[in-house]
Each structure stands twice: as structure tokens, then as C-alpha cells.
Chain A
Amino acid sequence: MDLLAHLEAYVAAVDEASFSRAAERLGIAQPLLSRRIKTLEEHFDGQLFDRSRRQVTTTELGHLLLPYAQDVLDRAQRLGHVARSARQSAVHGVGVPADCGPAALARVIRAGAERGITFGVQELPPDEREAGLADTSLAYALVRVPPEHAALRVPLGLASAPPPAPEGACADRPEVRQRTRRRAIHLEDLRPPRGSGATRGRPAAVPLLTMIEDQVPFAQDRLRRAVARAGLPEGTVRPAGPMATALAEMLAGQVTLLCTEPFARRHGANWAPLGDASLHRGYDAGAARRRGDEANVPDWLAALLAAAVGAAATAPTTAPDAAGEDAPSRLAARG
């Protein structure tokens, strides 16, 4: 027996002093209401209503039980309220990289609100996002993985100072020379050419700064190795430190910054992708396991996070390999 539905029928019938009006108020058919009241009377083993007269009246038992029945219904209603507001106020932590666009993150928050879920978006470094999922302090997070295994791939490139705006811009020469394709940057192109300005010492390679998001051990190691193999000195790659300073140095043309295209564009920098896609970022959208359940990221959220992080629909990349190394003679004494 659904006690609440039956109590509801009983209380309404007392209030309205009429089965038909009570049924109308509850939006159910009168025979159903009559049946419920009958079932309740059998349950309590006593008449709640006197049906012997033309006008239905409440019996003594019916009057006695009424406040208790009302109380049960009120409490049930409160229970429902509490459950609903608890659901709405529970904040679901979402761990994202520090360089996401604010507008894209706003779309994540809004989409959650539309579904009655409150998202607390947190900018965190990669290791803290992973730890947050593990200890369930985050409900969802973007986790760094090597790009060749990643569900989401985010091209990385070098941001550099934009060229100074030409005098009187090219308003009267609309796009005379349009680029037909965007050129990728190859690390070995960054070597300073020999013989130019070799008066005192050598011209140094322009430093390449990395953001906290890319200071993941495997990514760092890959980048350092690629830089060494491209013939650049160790010191070429260094951590960016405070972002405002790094951006200022980059916009002043003193350094280049390894970052995503949306990030570079937001700060008015030039950007070109790294040719070696194994140096790009890879992400999987992860959900915290709760009570041992395998948790999944809803598709709508995964899509919004992909957009926020600037994921591209690119072809799968492959891990860097030692192709072209003419082993075994490289292991021998050479020259």
C-alpha cells in the first residue's frame, strides 16, 4: 500500500467534506479515491467516514487520526524539499587546465545548471587534477595522457610577438598576400644560423617557455629530448614562471611560449603549431569513482570540456620513435 497516496486521499476528503471534490483536487478518479479510503479503513480497522447519510461526514476516528495523517504528509513533503535542494546545492568539482577560455568554461557551468547540477570549475595543474579524481574531491577532470593514446588532442605551438602594425595598415590593400597554408614550426628551425653576427660568442637560440600545464614528467622529457635532438642547447626550454611576466616577455619578443592556439590568440600573439604532434597535449575526460562504481563523463560534458581546452579533431598521432637512427653504428665509437 502506498501509505502517502492513501493518506492524501483521506485528508483531502476531510478537507473538502466530499469525495468527488477531493478526487477533483487530487486529480484522480473518484472510484480510485473511494477505493483508497476503503483500503485505509481496512488498514486501521475502523470507519473514517460515515456514508449512511446523504452528506458524507467524518467519524470520530476520522477526526482523531487527521492531525497525525497531516503530520506524516507534511514531513514527507519536507523530505522531498530537502532532497531537491541538496541535489542542487551539491557542488561537483571539475578540474580543468589553467589556460582554458573563460567563455568556454561559462558554457560548462551553464549546461550543468540547466541539468540541475552545480559545477565548481577549478583551474589546477595536471598532477592535482589527477589526485582530485583519485580522492573524489573532483567529480570530473581533464587528465593528461600522451597524445597518441588520448581521446582529446590539443595542438601545441609557439606563441611569439605579433609583428608591429604597419603604418596606416593595409586598409586600401585588402589581403593582397593571403597565406595558402599555415606553416608548422620544427624545432630544428629554431637553431640560430651560424655565421650571422658571430663577432662575440654565438647568437643564442630564443628561449622557449613552458606552462605549468606542460610540466608533466613524460611531456617534459619528450620535449627536452626533442629539443636536444634538434640540436638546441639544454637551456632553450625553461619553465615560464608567473604567467603575466612570461606573456609580457613573449609579447616583447624576447621569448616564445609553448601554448595552445586559443590561448595565444586571447593574448594577441602570433601562433604556429609544432610540427611534431607527439609533443602536443593529450587529454582524457575522467570521472571520480564513487562507492566503487565505474563513473563516466556524460557526453554533453565531455564535448564542452573538449571545446574549453581547445581540442582539435586531428588525426591520431604516433609516439616519437627512433626511426632513422642508423643503429648499430651509433653505439660504436664514432670519429
Chain B
Amino acid sequence: MSAAPANRPVCVADDVDLLDVAEAIAADWAALGVRGSFLARHIDTGEQLGFAVDEPVPLASVVKVPLALVALDRIAAGKLDAAQPVFVDPSTSSVGPTGLAAFRHPATVAVGDLLHLMLSVSDNAAADALLDLVPVVDVDARLRAWGCSGIRMRHRLNRMYECAAGAAGKDFSLALELAIRDDHSGRHTIETLDPEHANLGSAAALVDLLRRVWQDDIAHPEATAELRRLMGRQVFTQRLASELRADTLRLHGKTGTFLHLRHEIGVVEAAGGDRVAMAALTRSDRRANLAPDIDLAIGTSARHAFEALRR
């Protein structure tokens, strides 16, 4: 990735008012030192606004959405049993702060519940347990077959931990430092941040995937319905949802966080019927684990975009 364009990203919008919103969001991000892409599209009218929408970005946990769709499609096709028990042993499972990845004792969980853990709390161990059943190459091939050309699945989730720990030992600050430095130099010491090797996606490709899932225009309808249900169960609300929390609104989202990456994709549904698919994929030079103002900026962007796009 030829580093983020430090100058203004190219905005796309369907009319001049939407262009204003896109430019305001881009300016807001730039003021906070956030680089990246943003796209919001009304699923039914097709109107959209955003910037840098075709830039391929390492997906971090956002890749769990296409992974889930492929697995759910297999279940719908009868090739995989949602009730099949899977044994997960903490001594060999993937590293992560939540779900099975944080378990300290062996557990047996059904495939359908692995999907729930993977999407609700971004469970890395659940995701990699699913990848034992649906290999990485099969997921990638399935995405090709569906025409999701802007999304690549190339490695398991734990590969991110292995690469970061491999480059920086146990030192989170150092790993973060390397990620930020490499982002500017374009030479990546952490392989899962290198667009040549990472799980990749662009805002445009991800929003298109969400649109197809919401319009049953991809995979088996049972699979898309279950994916919509599971994405509605996400517990994290600090990003896209942060300014959209109301009983009349619902966000079906999936975050992605790895070192300096802070992403989320999702669909905002209003009780009145408006449905807006969004992708916010960000990088920053912030040398901190938590950046609440960046999370909040993503939320503010989502709200502005939703209000501008709804009918």
C-alpha cells in the first residue's frame, strides 16, 4: 500500500450535499490524525458518500464477516452441521482477549455457537476453529466465486498475533511502533499488515458485500439471514454505534482492531425502514491501545452519513 495519501482523499458522493458530508468527515478524520477510507451507502436507494473507497486495507477482525458468510452458506447447503460439537483446548487455541480465546479450560462448542462467539465478541479462537472446518483457501475461493473481488482471505486470525509477537516479542508498544513506522515507509515487518500477505478489503468491496447480504443477493438466503441476525448481536458499541444508540435504530456491525488499525463495517437499520451499509477503515499514528476520540469520530461520521442518506 503506497502509504495513506497524506493529502486529501478522493471523495465520492451522489450529489453536492452528500459530497459536503463526505468532505466534512474527511476533514474531521484528518484533524484527529486518522487516515483511511469511509463509505456509506443506502441499501435501497443506492445513494452513497465516502472517500478512498477502493483502497485495500488489512481487515483485522472485519474478515470474520466474509468468513461467517462462507461457513453459514456451507451449513445452509447441508455440508456443515451447525450442531456439530467442536473441542477447543486453550493450550493450542488462538490468542485473544475475548470468548474461547480467553478461556482457561477446555470447552466443547457447537459450530453455530462458534459463529455467534466470533461475531458477537470477536472471538479469535472461535474463528480459527471454524477455519479448521472451512479452510482459508476455501473461504477465499468461495469469495472469488461470488465475485467479491475486493476481499481477500489469506491467513488465520492467530497469524496476526504470531506476526506481531514475532516482530516485537511480547512488547505491545514496540509492535505498535513498528506498525506505525512501516505504515509510512511501506516496508512491513509485521506480515499481516502487508497488503501483499494480509486479509484485505476495501470500503467499496465491504459495503457491496453488506448490500448483497441485506438484499439476499449472495449465498443461500438462510445464510444471509443468519449473518444479519448474528451481526446484530455484536456487543461492541464504541465505534459506528456510538452516536446511533436509540431504540429506533439498530446497528449490525463487526469491528476490527489490530495495533494501529481501527475498523468497523455494519448496517444501520431505522425503524422507519432506512438501511445504510457502512465501512470505516482507519489507521492512525496514535501510540496507544485505546483511542476513544478516534472511535467517537467514526461514530460521528456514521451518524452524519446516516442522517444525510436516509430518506
Contacts and interface: CB of A to CB of B under 8 A. Distances in A.
Interface of A: 191, 194, 201-202, 224-225, 228-235, 322, 325-335
Contact of A329 (B32, B95, B259, B293): B95
Given A330-B97, A332-B160, A334-B61, A235 B33 contact: yes
B54 to A, nearest CB: 23
16 contacts: A194-B296, A234-B33, A322-B172, A325-B289, A326-B97, A329-B97, A331-B168, A331-B259, A332-B95, A332-B124, A332-B160, A332-B161, A333-B61, A334-B97, A334-B122, A334-B257
Given A201-B28, A231-B291, A333 B257 contact: yes
A225 to B, nearest CB: 5
B171 A329 contact: no
Contact of A224 (B97, B236, B287): B287
A266 to B, nearest CB: 34
A232 B32 CA distance: 10
Contact of A333 (B122, B172, B289): B122
B290 interface: yes
A234 B97 CA distance: 27
Contacts of A225: 173, 287-288
Contact of A332 (B96, B286, B296): B96
A333 to B, nearest CB: 5
Contacts of A322: 171-173
B172 A331 contact: yes
A234 B297 CA distance: 14
Interface string B98-110: 1001100000000
Contacts of B94: 332
B164 interface: yes
B33 A327 contact: no
A335 B300 CA distance: 19
B289 A202 contact: no
A328 B292 CA distance: 22
B191 interface: no
Given A194-B296, A333-B60, A335-B255, A328 B161 contact: yes
B170 to A, nearest CB: 5
B214 interface: no
Please indicate which of the listed interface residues A230, A331, A333, A334 has the most CB atoms of chain B within 10 Å of its own CB.
A333
A228 B176 CA distance: 12
Looking at chain A's contact residues, the main secondary structure is loop
Interface of B: 28, 31-33, 60-61, 94-98, 101-102, 121-122, 124, 157-158, 160-161, 164-165, 168, 170-173, 175, 236, 255-259, 285-293, 296, 300
A90 B188 CA distance: 57
Contacts of B160: 331-333
Contacts of B122: 333-335
Contacts of A229: 287-289
Nearest to B242: A194
Nearest to A191: B292
Contacts of B157: 332-333
Contacts of B124: 332-333
Given A322-B173, A333-B61, A231 B293 contact: yes
Given A224-B287, A328-B95, A335 B256 contact: yes
A330 B259 CA distance: 8
B161 A327 contact: no
Given A233-B286, A332-B124, 14 more contacts: A202-B300, A228-B286, A231-B288, A327-B172, A328-B161, A329-B95, A329-B96, A331-B170, A333-B160, A333-B161, A334-B96, A335-B98, A335-B121, A335-B255
Please indicate which of the listed interface residues B28, B171, B256, B293 has the most CB atoms of chain A within 10 Å of its own CB.
B293
A326 B97 CA distance: 9
A6 B98 CA distance: 97
A333 B175 CA distance: 13
A321 to B, nearest CB: 10
Contact of A202 (B164, B168, B256, B293): B293
Contacts of A327: 170-172
A331 B165 contact: yes
Contacts of A328: 95, 161, 165, 170
Please indicate which of the listed interface residues A225, A330, A332 has the most CB atoms of chain B within 10 Å of its own CB.
A332
A119 B130 CA distance: 75
The 4 A-B residue pairs whose C-beta atoms are closest, nearest first, are A228-B288, A332-B161, A329-B97, A331-B164
B16 to A, nearest CB: 21
Contacts of A331: 95, 160-161, 164-165, 168, 170, 172, 175, 259
Contacts of A224: 287
Contacts of A191: 292-293
Contacts of A233: 32-33, 286, 293
A326 B289 CA distance: 11
A325 B172 contact: yes
Contacts of B33: 233-235
